[in-house]
Structure 1
Amino acid sequence: MLKQAGRMEKTLRIAIAGGGIASLCLAHSLTTQHPDWSIQIYEASPQIRDEGAAIGLATNAQEALKLISPSLREALDEAGGVECVPAVRIMVGTGKDSGVCVGDVPQPTPQITVHRTAFWNALRKRIPDGVLQLGKRLASISTDLDAEHPVTLTFSDSTTTSVDALIGCDGINSTVRQHILGPDYAPFYTSGYNHRVVVPLAEAEEAFGKEYCSLRTQYGWIGDGGFLLTDHCDEGRSMQVIAGWSDKGPWPYEAPFVEWDKERLKRDLEDWGDIGKAMLKIFLSRPTLHAAAGRTHPHTPTYLSPSAHIALAGDAAQSFPPFLGAGAGQAIEDALLLSTVLGLVTSPSDIPSALRVYDSIRRPRRAAIAAASMKAARLMTGRDPEVGVDPERIRGLLPVWKKEIFGVDLEGVQREARGLFEKGRGKSDVGGES
């Protein structure tokens, strides 16, 4: 392809399936770096709904936002993010030591909890009008390497578009994942579920007491088969309340999100002492109670299509249990590395090299976090046979808790990616699909 002064003769076209947080971060970066490119986000939902939940962003996620763009880190504060100070505090929830404070999880910088929808809205303001298209459900994907734009997307409304690269950020039930990997790598239900709500702080104080709510920290309660959590969001005006269970048997429903029997929650919380009673006040006061099933993916052998013009990111790439609170942060790390390697592209022929570098770096990192999250699921629900709900044994693990998440040099990862890209530009074997 002919180029002038390092620029492409034709406009590069990149599509992002799914309109979540990682998609907005990536779109902000690419539209800022390359305003001449065509960047489109295709979101299946006709409107973005208020999910009524908060997410925790640890040191790595905050740093990734800043490295993508300082403006994205500012969006976190703009959305009412609350620092967990002094830290994440671990408590015992059941058994003879119920109510015992185990200790605080040390972190390089305080974790920040933010309402998901408020953060999404703050990020949305940072992409140009027309980039996000709602109500565009992806129906099928085809690839023709001889075409001007090799990847063709067909939507459920029968419209089509052709692009040079497709990034699948379309969640755990990803159409892009299905296209790349087929049905053998579809998500499956675990044996757990959770309930979560966000309530005004005054309501939380009524249930938990003002002293409990005065610390803007994240409380995690480890118990026999379950894990309870509270944290602040909305600049401290609201509290998120979560009750999760690890081993309640096979999920009996087809849908992953269902209305739940409040009497069953009473039984689940009957051994949780005062914290269980306080949680019941919160959940039973809702007009309806809902439960979300635990779901995860099997090990994912590649994030790329054979041509390496299509890549997976976020939950579409590899989902895992939420017990380390790492999902949103890993999606933002995905966006950081994608923005790094795609930002180096000067020709459509560079795209496979860029995405192979992304796969070679991000897939091992996500796999490690997935394994750590599975281990944390056992630990934080009292199912680790060597730890149980023993305060001293739990306390001994606090110094290394979440170390897998924090122990990353993201600027070093960017340098590695740039070096691999320059080394492998135009080659077909960089970070191959294993």
Structure 2
Amino acid sequence: MNTDLLARLDRIPIWALPHRYLAIIGLGYFFVFFDIANIGYALPAISDEYGLTKSEGAFVAVAIGLLGYSLGSLSIGVLADRFGRYRMLVLTMVLTAIGSFGDAAAQGLISLAVFRFITGMGVGADLNLVTTYISELAPARVRGRIAVATFMIGILGQAITPFVAWALVPHFDFGWRLMFVIGGAIAVLGLLVRTVLPESPRWEVTHGRDESAARTIDAMEQCCREKCVDLDAQSASEPDEPQRGGEHFYRRLTILIAMWFLWYIGNYAFLGDGAQLLADRGAAIGGSIALLAIGAIGYPLGALAALRTVDRFERRLVILAASVVWLIAMAAVGSFAGDVVIAIGCLLASMSLGCFLQVAYTFTAECFSTNIRATGFALSDGIGHAGGAVGVLLLPVLVTHWSFGAGFTTIGLTGLAAGVVALLGPNATRRRLEHISA
């Protein structure tokens, strides 16, 4: 490995590539979060059209998608560690476009399940690779802020989705299909613009592609010189020393799988079941979507909170704080104490999601070395997504056999537990990747 090239890369203190690259990456993120949210709003209409029970609808539309998510993240993550980040970032957009248009055209249970699986593969792999890619290009002192800034473009997809659903699903028989067509169009646009991105020079160095890595680093250094950034001074100011005797790979993997498993129980239960359960409780489908749409304003607010805190405090503490807000939010929704309280609960839930997700994604990528970063992320997030399948199936059971409040409070507690587990991970804020993963 050419350590001189890595040293040159690590001394660059700013985002030294065109800023449009962040917007390009964020557009792909936008689709990912649009798709994660849209199935929950489409599910009541899909169930009505196909005559599905709640459990059947959740299993086919959500659990099958999560299975694809996990397998896609793992398989394409392994390929990304072997063949590079760039090629797989293009492949994920191809898969998501095929899957989303297929979702829109589905004519029955089987075809819907097949295309939800394909969509899930693309979505799962893309979340993995975007975080990995940004982490490897961004400088240590602002890595969190750059990751969150990109994420803010994506999280708008989750904020906008309920308003799109509110306009389409209650008013048109084919409204849920139009939602997937919109998602497919976004994926095609993301595919087209991603072709200009460079390969990760950090990945190239670890695979002996020094000439290509050097060209990218040369361009980044030239950008710094044009902005009058003193590279030598930055290099000398780095105080970090590599960790000695830190956690082993499997210990970190266990911690991160547990964190994501616990978080996704509530995350997917709320997004996948929330509209239907609120409707069953007494709100019309349009009314339940409206409550969630009002609450969705919190997604960019949560991301803004992350932007302000992610490089000022340890990632683990920011993750824990977001999980505390999540518990409060689920208790408010579960109280069913009127539209205002439910809307406030939905707002707090989306704020928690907007803050937790990218901070935790960045933290996950930082915990692994470059040669296995995408694979480690895929195992952590992919296996962790089994919690999402559990949550989607579990919440309706808890609401039915216990109570509405007990069901939502339970998924609030699992979210808090995720924040507590994160405290077991390493220090990561403002540290070089090689020091964190040592």
Same fold (TM over 0.5): no
Higher percent of residues as helix? 2
- TM-score by structure 2 length? 0.30
Higher percent of residues as strand? 1
- TM-score by structure 1 length? 0.30
